[in-house]
């Protein structure tokens, strides 16, 4: 996908991915904000969670099947995993500084039975060096469906190693020789979280937020991301499934887990019922909290950036 004649992102939907993803996602200054591993490993990339590729939307418990953790690098005999298959790509519209594309997909359970019909619209824009992605996804139940409260979800991306939070914990990374090695190096990781509620750092995990900012540097270039929730999404604002190791996500469907049982949702759809999820991602060199708030209000009022 080109914006102003420069690569923004690509849509990948090979069966081996078990879902469709946007990868890589590139800022206007030319740096990729997404992790390279496992598709195109870069020096320093962590080699954990091979299912966390680019940007995606799926969930950890749909009628008992896990659509979040599925990948070709795990033993599918140990757990029931679902698969999301793209059926059609359509309505491709491109302009100088914006583009749209629609994707039709089906969520299949481990027995290859169709459970959910997905219709997703991606809207890509760039204005004043701020790039944005809006994902509007409609899910229609092909049979009765239960999204049991689960930590693993829902909309998010896996960011570059350099946008991870600094940590003393040793991790497995790709070495300059292309091999796996153990590493602790705070000089590499520069990420910092801050939500609209004022909560900062890794403490944002499990809290509710209308939006979340992640800022840092990649190859010494400043980068800021913002993940935006929409008030029409179920259980708004969602819980932040955002971790120091580079997972940048929000989950509206994990109430029981995130509140230690104080709240329960267990969202369900009857056969034929539909639900729409609407999320936004901002990518820029710099984003002030005031600027994100303004763009979030625009996202809410106009349903667009």
Rounded CA-CA distance 43/51 in Å is 19
Torsion angles phi and psi, residue 157, rounded to 5: -150, 165
- Per-residue model confidence (pLDDT) at position 201: 97
**Which domains does the chain show, CATH number per domain?**
2-302 (2.70.98)
Distance CA 86, CA 11 (A): 11
- The reported pLDDT for the residue numbered 250 is 98
Kindly give the confidence (pLDDT) of every residue in the chain, 305 residues in length, as a single tens digit, with 9 standing for 90 and above.
888 889 999 999 998 899 999 999 999 999 999 999 999 999 999 999 999 999 999 999 999 999 999 887 776 667 899 999 999 999 999 998 999 999 999 999 999 999 999 999 999 999 999 999 999 999 999 999 999 999 999 999 999 999 999 988 899 999 888 888 888 777 789 999 999 999 999 999 999 999 999 999 999 999 999 999 999 999 999 999 999 999 999 999 999 999 999 999 999 999 999 999 999 999 999 999 999 999 999 999 999 99
Cα separation, 212 vs 242, whole angstroms: 9
Q: Assess contact for 214 and 225: CB atoms under 8 A.
A: yes
3-state class of 140 per DSSP? Answer: strand
3-class DSSP state of 18: coil
CA atoms within 13 A on the CB side of 184: 4
How many helices and strands in the chain, by DSSP H and E?
Answer: 2, 20
d(CA 236, CA 28): 30
pTM check: above 0.85 = yes
Displacement of CA 148 from its chain's centroid (Å) = 20
User: The sheet that has 192-195: what strands, in order across it?
Assistant: 83-94, 98-108, 114-127, 130-141, 274-284, 221-228, 211-218, 192-195
CA distances from 120 to 35, 72, 104, 105, 169 (A): 23, 24, 6, 8, 38
For residue 76, the model assigns a pLDDT of: 64
* Rounded distance between C-alpha atoms, residue 13 and residue 212, angstroms: 27
236 within 8 A of 229, measured Cβ to Cβ: yes
């Amino acid at each position: 996908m080109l914006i102003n004649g420069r690569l923004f992102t690509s849509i990948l939907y090979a069966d081996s991915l078990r879902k469709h993803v946007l990868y890589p996602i590139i800022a206007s200054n030319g740096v990729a904000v997404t992790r390279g591993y496992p598709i195109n490993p870069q020096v320093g990339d962590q080699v954990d969670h091979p299912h966390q590729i680019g940007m995606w939307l799926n969930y950890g418990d749909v009628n008992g099947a896990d659509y979040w953790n599925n990948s070709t690098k795990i033993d599918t005999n140990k757990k029931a995993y679902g698969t999301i298959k793209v059926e059609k790509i359509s309505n491709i519209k491109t302009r100088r500084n914006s583009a749209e594309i629609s994707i039709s997909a089906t969520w299949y359970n481990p027995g290859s039975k169709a459970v959910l019909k997905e219709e997703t619209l991606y809207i890509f824009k760039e204005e004043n060096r701020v790039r944005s992605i809006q994902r509007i996804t409609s899910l229609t139940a092909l049979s009765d469906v239960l999204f049991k409260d689960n930590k693993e979800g829902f909309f998010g991306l896996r960011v570059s190693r350099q946008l991870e939070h600094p940590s003393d914990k040793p991790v497995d990374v790709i070495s300059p020789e292309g091999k796996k090695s153990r590493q602790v190096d705070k000089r590499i990781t520069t990420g910092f979280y801050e939500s609209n509620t004022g909560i900062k750092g890794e403490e944002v995990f499990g809290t509710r937020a209308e939006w979340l900012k992640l800022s840092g540097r990649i190859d010494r270039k400043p980068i800021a991301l913002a993940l935006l929730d929409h008030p029409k999404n179920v259980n708004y604002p969602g819980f932040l499934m955002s971790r120091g190791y580079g997972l940048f996500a929000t989950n509206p469907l994990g109430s029981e887990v995130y509140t230690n049982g104080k709240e329960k949702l267990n969202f369900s759809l009857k056969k034929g019922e539909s639900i729409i999820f609407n999320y936004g991602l901002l990518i820029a060199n710099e984003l002030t909290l005031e600027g994100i708030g303004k763009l979030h209000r625009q996202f809410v009022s106009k349903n667009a950036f």
